[in-house]
Amino acid sequence: MTDLRLILASASPARTQLLSNAGIAHRVLVSDVDEDAVTARYGITDSHDTALLLARAKAESVAALDEADGALVLGCDSVFEFDGKAYGKPYEAAVARDRLRRMSGGTGVLHTGHWLVDNRETADDGVPGAGASAGSAATIGTVASAEVRFAAMTEAEIDAYIATGEPLQVAGAFTLDSLGGSFITGINGDPHTVVGLSISTLRELLASTGVGITEFWT
């Protein structure tokens, strides 16, 4: 199916790098979703449900764009749960420092919501036109979760990590695939989930629309 297109509705460099490393051809279109406004509107505090809600909001926002016509659109969002509390992006150094101190030597769960919108045209008779693939009209999602274990961090390490700026713009104030990986001692679940996009979950969502992930391999 040479006409297939996959759009990633996320500004995350880590997510697009994951797709590229997996050989999955895609385009990035960033949504204009206000995450705080969306969560405030629905009043959701559960980490699992928040991740799915925001992933859906991003996917549907981009799917509404003219550039997304005829494409499959994937939205993702990650929320870190620690001691029963939801941790998004800290943005501020003081917030990140407090979180890292709490997380030091502990264990939390990273929830990544995935939402896929099939924007391909559907055929009334169930048979696509010449050279085209019929869409399923699906809008579906799921959450992939993984447990993350942290090493005990010294104050000097926390300060040095915050000084890099990396933890300020990522869910939970840590990364697995970059500098933050130094402080992670184990993952129980799909490591890709912790980075922000589970390739195996994407495979399952695509299959629900009648598309094989190998059709996007470059």
Helix (H, G, I), strand (E, B) or coil at 100: helix
Alpha helices in the chain (DSSP H): 13-21, 35-42, 47-63, 93-103, 155-163, 191-195, 199-208
Tell me the C-alpha distance between 193 and 198, whole Å: 5
Tell me the C-alpha distance between 152 and 134, whole Å: 52
Single out the catalytic residue among 32, 46, 77, 177: 77
Pair 108, 156: CB distance under 8 Å? no
Nearest CA to 95 out of 103, 105, 106 is that of: 103
CA distances from residue 163 to 59, 93, 108, 157, 179 in whole angstroms, order as listed: 33, 8, 23, 10, 12
Question: Residue 124 catalytic?
Answer: no
Catalytically annotated residues? 77
